[in-house]
Structure 1
Amino acid sequence: MVAKQKMLAVSGLLSGAVIWGLIWYPYRLLSEVGISGALSSLVTYLVAVALGVALFPAAFSRIRHAGYLALLIGLSAGWTNLAYVLAVIQGEVMRVLLLFYLSPFWTVIFAHLLLREKPGAAGYGVIAMSLGGAVVMLWRPEFGLPLPQNQAEWLALSAGLMFALSNVLARKAHNLDIQVKSLSIWIGVGLLSLLPILWAPSMAQPLAALAWNGWLWLLFIGVAIFGVTLAVQFGISHTPANQAIVIFLFELVVAAISSYFLAGESMSLQEWLGGAMIVAASLFSGKLEQQHDGN
């Protein structure tokens, strides 16, 4: 039974890595026919919310009494997913993902602030390696400081920051079950995606002219998000953190292959070197979890 549970947990994390390494493509296809990232996020996450409410009515009832942590998880994870979608539509997929995977740097900080976990020498090593990788990847002498150079890269950076915050909050909210956390995420993305459309209602007009295959893409993405969120939440709950991080990094492999063949994107040697440092920091951050578990 334990072996089967572990296999299911690893499969859940792998499915998350594969889906999120590929999901940029249908979102880009929708963007090309006039469906903005905010609008496609709104529709796809409404599909996930509808499925969640239909299949887990008790969880929907519980979420209203879950307290401020469920709200914060929803908003932080909501921005993570929305910003990620906007970033992969606008920017280079691999640069977006590598900036997103600065999350171990933010995790060390949030864990110290919210969970009172002291970084120690290993924690400061993760911070140094993450920042060093970002500097190497982003450094352009002609642009001055090694900062993100466009909106997509800033969105990717913020998505990684909010991803770290949502994970630390999820660890803090150990009393919330997987269904409540998942519903919080779907509702959070839906609410944040709705704001720009309320500000500019004309953004929703392209839906009226969307072909049937576009609606099928939206439905497919929504169902995929529903399933993969539950699978990842299960995987995180039943897999050691260091192993989970290694599995999540498979997303980079999937994204590198898919962006090369589907979008013709490639990275320079400098970007690969900086990315390798960020990946190394992600792998090493798993040892921090192991240390905390052993304390």
Structure 2
Amino acid sequence: MLTSRRPSSRLLPSIALLAGAVIWGLIWYPYRAIEAAGMGGVTATFITYGLAFLFGLIPLWPVLRRTRPSFWLVALALAAAGTNLGYVLGTLDGVVMRVLLLFYLSPLWTVLLSRLLLGERLSRAGAGVIALSLAGAFVMLWRPELGLPWPQGSAEWMGLGAGVCFALANVLIRRTAHIEIEQKVMAVFLGVIAVAPVAAWLRGEAPLQQFAAIGADTWLLLALIGGVLLLVNLVVQYGITFLSANAAIALFLFELVVAAISSWWLAGEVMGLKEWVGGAMIIAASLFSGHLEPERTDHNVEDAPRSSVQVDVLDDRSRL
């Protein structure tokens, strides 16, 4: 269970978020190893999130048994499914850093979706986030010989789409502040489990054939990823609960540092100057987005119910 008691310092929540950033910056690699062993990305995602759900049933059951059907919870599960599947498939098929930088356009979509779904007015700061995000994407994607600066290939489109789903999930999390964290984490897993078979059919994967084709070592890796997914989602939720949005965003952007190093070291991927410049602008927009809402006070955190202590931009990666 996640504790609602505020820690004596910010050290432990900060370590929790840094640990989450490291995991999400590296998790693309074991999925590539599983794909190399003969299992498609959608099938692997279905199994790992299914195992994460099963691993969480016993320890989280006291909270889960109080879950009530909710339209918003279903919407959150579907948005998170798009986030998770888009992230895995994008990083499997494309250049990891380009996919993740397109994913990190999510503050742009968060501002727009907050206006549409929550009725929030677009402030000058929000307009600045939009402008800086779009400018960064324009610089990174611009290739005169290809015309308009659109994402190139399905992997980059999946990274962009995953970022849109991530932003939608963030907005829905704010809309579902009355639902407990554990319930939302498990709903995310169920969303992936429900959507993955459809995605596998669309991609022409044959899950049953792949089950029999892989060895025991691959199954062990799948089980390990499932356990890590459960732990990292709960740990990250703990860190976000007790840190301001500003601090959470800054710490989570460490994922890009880990991804840049790991994609260079493990996959030999190197980005050019314009990718770094555009990426820096997107990162700056993400950092700036953390200042769109006032920081929470100690009184707010201690007095609010655990399930209502939420953060705007990075509340439930639950890849999220």
Pair 1:129 & 2:132 matched: yes
- Which residue of 2 is the match for residue 191 of structure 1? 194
Structure 2 CA distance for partners of 1:58 and 1:2, relative to 1, 3 Å: closer
- Which residue of 1 is the match for residue 178 of structure 2? 175
Q: Secondary structure at the match of 1:26?
A: helix
2:103 partner letter = F
C-alpha distance after superposition, 1:87-113 (max 9, x if no partner) = 000000100110000001001011112
2:292 partner letter = L
**Higher share in helix:** 1
Does the 8 Å CA contact 1:66/1:176 hold for their aligned counterparts?
A: no
Give the deviation of 1:66 after TM superposition.
4.2
Runs of at least 4 residues off by over 4 Å: 198-201
Does the 8 Å CA contact 1:39/1:204 hold for their aligned counterparts?
A: no
Give the deviation of 1:190 after TM superposition.
1.3
Q: Distance in 2 between matches of 1:4 and 1:210?
A: 47
Pair 1:52 & 2:56 matched: yes
2:60 partner letter = F
1:77-226 map, 5 Å: 77-197=80-200, 200=204, 202-226=206-230
Q: Distance in 1 between matches of 2:205 and 2:114?
A: 39
TM-score (norm 1): 0.94
Does the 8 Å CA contact 1:17/1:250 hold for their aligned counterparts?
A: yes
C-alpha distance after superposition, 1:150-206 (max 9, x if no partner) = 000000000001101101111121111110010011111111112234565724312
Does the 8 Å CA contact 2:20/2:252 hold for their aligned counterparts?
A: yes
Q: Distance in 2 between matches of 1:168 and 1:251?
A: 21
Aligned residue pairs: how many? Answer: 293
- Which residue of 1 is the match for residue 255 of structure 2? 251
2:99 partner letter = V
What percentage of aligned pairs have identical amino acids?
49
Which of 250, 260, 270 is residue 264 of structure 2 equivalent to? Answer: 260
Does the 8 Å CA contact 2:244/2:296 hold for their aligned counterparts?
A: no
Q: Distance in 1 between matches of 2:97 and 2:254?
A: 13
Pair 1:6 & 2:10 matched: yes
Structure 2 CA distance for partners of 1:272 and 1:50, relative to 1, 3 Å: same
1:66-81 map, 5 Å: 66-81=69-84
Give the deviation of 1:2 after TM superposition.
4.2
1:151 partner letter = S
1:61 partner letter = R
Worse-matched range after superposition: 6-15 or 204-213: 6-15
Give the deviation of 1:233 after TM superposition.
1.7
Structure 2 CA distance for partners of 1:4 and 1:224, relative to 1, 3 Å: farther
Pair 1:30 & 2:52 matched: no
Worse-matched range after superposition: 217-226 or 227-236: 227-236
TM-score (norm 2): 0.87
Q: Distance in 2 between matches of 1:47 and 1:112?
A: 36
Q: Distance in 2 between matches of 1:167 and 1:233?
A: 13
Compute the RMSD of aligned alpha carbons: 1.8
